[in-house]
Structure formats: structure tokens, C-alpha cells
Amino acid sequence: MSIILAISGGSIQSTHSLNLKAIDLTHKKNPSVLFVPTATHDEEGYVSYMKKYYEDLGCSFDSLLVSSQKLNYDAIQKKFESADLIYFGGGDTEYMIQTWKQAGVDKAILKVLPQNKVFTGISAGAAFWFHSDFADTDSFKNPNNWDYRFVECLGLFPFTFNPHYNESGREKFDTRIREQSYSGIAMDNDTALIIEGGHATVIKSNENAHVYFIDAWKNFYKREITSLEWW
């Protein structure tokens, strides 16, 4: 079964140790990395930066560009099959999910999930595994007039996800989560969850960062966590 290392947020520098952990989890000296930047509409600068970053770490690198290229499902599936480590970039969650469903990326992810892959990613690239993301998706459409809202994701894990919890405005999650019936995970930048089956372990690249669980079954009580089990 694959391992998921879901990173809340931060810079590539501040999350460097988390990225190294993802590489280590492949148990390969020079793993092959597939970068999926759909949430930024396949931004060229992002792809170039990540290519250099991973090649400098001794990895081979490929990218899956479904926003800017027309790829059939078989070509998408082949890229996932060939990768040891798949990194999903951050950005617009809603656009990413919509684009994936049109191209079949969501199906390709689920097909290779039983294999021994390592999936990682940041912000939107971590949120899509959950029931929903407390997302800033409308800021990409109307940067002068927007608010956070829940964006439906792939739903493999039965929680709503709030990345960048230490950033201004994200505290709205504590009350807005009551709009729906799911428990929530709120994560400061520079934190990640290592998820194997129904168990998640918190890791950090900044020891002053925190991860919280807001329990819908206990009147949305919030507590700090270091691990979580649900199956």
C-alpha cells in the first residue's frame, strides 16, 4: 500500500526536511519523481524550480501537465506507474479537482494507490485526499472580494482539511466547520501528516508549529494532536 505525506504549507526551503522524508520513504537511492502542478495551471516557473530542486537531490524528474497539454488516460496512467514519488503542487484546489476529473487524473491516482508509491504534496496538493478543503480558491478568481469556502475533494479520508492554519483568516475554520458534519484537521505551515491506511502521524520541520483535530462527534472540540486513527 502507498504512503501519503501531506504537507500543509510553507516554502520549499522551510519544508525541505519534510521533502527529504518523502524521498526516504521510497527506500530508493535515486527515486523517480513525478511533479503534478495542475493547481497552478502548469506554471512553467514552478515546474522548472521543482525540476532543479529534485535533480539536485539526485532524483530523476518528470512532470504531468494536464492543464497545458492534451494527454489521454493511458499516457497519464503510464506517468504514475513509472514514478516512485509523486508530488502534487499547491494552488487552486477547485480548479485542480475539476481538471483532474475531466482528464482522468483522479482515476489514475486511485489505480496506483494500492502499489508501493509515495505520494506527497503541499496545500491543495495535500488537501485533495480529504472530504473537503477549507480553500482560498475564490481568491484566484476575484482577488479583491473573496472568502474561504469548503471545496469538495476526492474524499479518501473522512475529514475536512485546513492548511496554513497559522495564517491570518484561517482561524475562521474553527466556527465555519460547523456548516458541515465532518471533523476537521487544521495544520500550521511546516507540518505534515504521514498517512498509512487509517493512521496518520504528525511530523514537523518547525517544532513551534501545531496540528489540531476538531471533532464533530464532540461538539467540534479542538485538540492538538501528534497522531490520529480513524479505521
pLDDT digits (tens, 9 = 90+) for 80-121: 999 999 999 999 999 999 999 999 999 999 999 999 999 999
For the stretch 127-149, pLDDT in tens is: 999 999 999 999 998 999 999 99
Domain boundaries, the chain: 3-229
**Confidence (pLDDT) at 231:** 77
Per-residue pLDDT averaged across 53-69, rounded? 97
**Confidence (pLDDT) at 185:** 98
Q: Hey, which residues does 61 pair with through a beta bridge?
A: 33
Instruction: Answer whether 93's CB lies under 8 Å from 133's CB.
Output: yes
State the average pLDDT for the chain.
97
Query: Residues with Cβ < 8 Å from 102, sequence gap 6 or more?
Result: none
**Confidence (pLDDT) at 1:** 82
**Confidence (pLDDT) at 74:** 97
Q: Which CATH architecture has domain 3-229?
A: 3-Layer(aba) Sandwich (3.40)
Instruction: Name the pLDDT band for 21 (thresholds 50, 70, 90).
Output: very high
For the stretch 138-195, pLDDT in tens is: 999 899 999 999 999 999 999 999 999 999 999 999 999 999 999 999 999 999 999 9
Share of the chain above pLDDT 70, in %: 100
Q: Which residues of 98-120 are buried (b: 16+ CB within 10 A; e: fewer)?
A: ebbeebbbbebbeebeeeebbbb
**Confidence (pLDDT) at 215:** 98
Instruction: Name the pLDDT band for 196 (thresholds 50, 70, 90).
Output: very high
Phi, psi of 49 (to 5 degrees): -65, -45
Instruction: Answer whether 67's CB lies under 8 Å from 100's CB.
Output: no
The CA distance from 147 to 159, in Å, is 20
Phi, psi of 57 (to 5 degrees): -90, 5
Per-residue pLDDT averaged across 210-224, rounded? 97
